[in-house]
Amino acid sequence: MLAVGIIRTLALRKLEARISDLDKAPEKPIERRERMTLLVMIAALAKLAKINVAKPSSAAAAIESQTALMGARIAARTIENHLGRIYVALMHLKEHRDMSINRAPLGSLPATGYVRQSQLIPAIFPFSSATLWRKVKAGTFPKPVKLGPRITAWRVEDIHAFIAHIGQ
């Protein structure tokens, strides 16, 4: 009977070690786009709950009391700091939406010249900016040209050639 108890104890220790290893796994940092999406979602939920996020301190107090009731209290100051970022997220979303409305029709590229990343994604290529740069690094997408210290663009001719190549 003692041998059975020892085996179960060892099995439990192994299981405990595996579970604690899962807790130690590094978390993936939240990316800017995901953060913006979460902030807009918070703004929408706050609006449904009739919480005015334009007044971060009073909104933070209301949210703090709710988090405390849920057993996961978050300090009002922390909430207020995050609520202050909602305005930036909403303006970014509005700006992005306005840019996509004013963008040339899907799939249209000039015959010559240069195009910026915002003109390529998602209008021409349906993948993320991170995927674009991975493809550039891997050599499976044309390399951009630096037009200035903070300006990167692609030659339209290279993009047309790339589209022709992937269409074969």
Q: Which domain holds residue 41?
A: 32-88
Measured distance CA(143)–CA(154) in Å, rounded = 7
Number of structural domains in the chain: 2
58 in Cβ contact with 79 (< 8 Å)? no
Alpha carbon of 17 to those of 7, 11, 13, 21, 52: distances in Å? 15, 10, 6, 6, 46
DSSP secondary structure letter of residue 107: T
Q: Is residue 9 part of a domain?
A: no
What is the pTM assigned to this prediction?
0.42
Q: Is 162 exposed, middle or buried (0-12, 13-18, 19+ CB in 10 A)?
A: middle
Measured distance CA(13)–CA(8) in Å, rounded = 9
- pLDDT tens-digit profile of 30-74? 787 787 788 788 888 888 888 887 777 788 888 888 888 888 888
* 111 contact partners, CB below 8 Å, separation of at least 6: 156
Q: Is residue 26 part of a domain?
A: no
Neighbouring-strand partners of residue 154: 115
* pLDDT exceeds cutoff 70 at 150: yes
Q: Mean pLDDT across the stretch 83-99?
A: 69
The mean pLDDT of the chain is 79
Q: Is residue 15 part of a domain?
A: no
Tell me the one-letter amino acid at 21.
D
Q: Is residue 20 part of a domain?
A: no
Tell me the one-letter amino acid at 153.
A
Closest CA to 136 of 114, 113, 152: 152
83 and 121 share a domain? Answer: no
Q: Is residue 50 part of a domain?
A: yes
Q: Is residue 47 part of a domain?
A: yes
Q: Is residue 98 part of a domain?
A: no
- The two structure tokens encoding residue 3: 């041998």
Q: Is 153 exposed, middle or buried (0-12, 13-18, 19+ CB in 10 A)?
A: middle
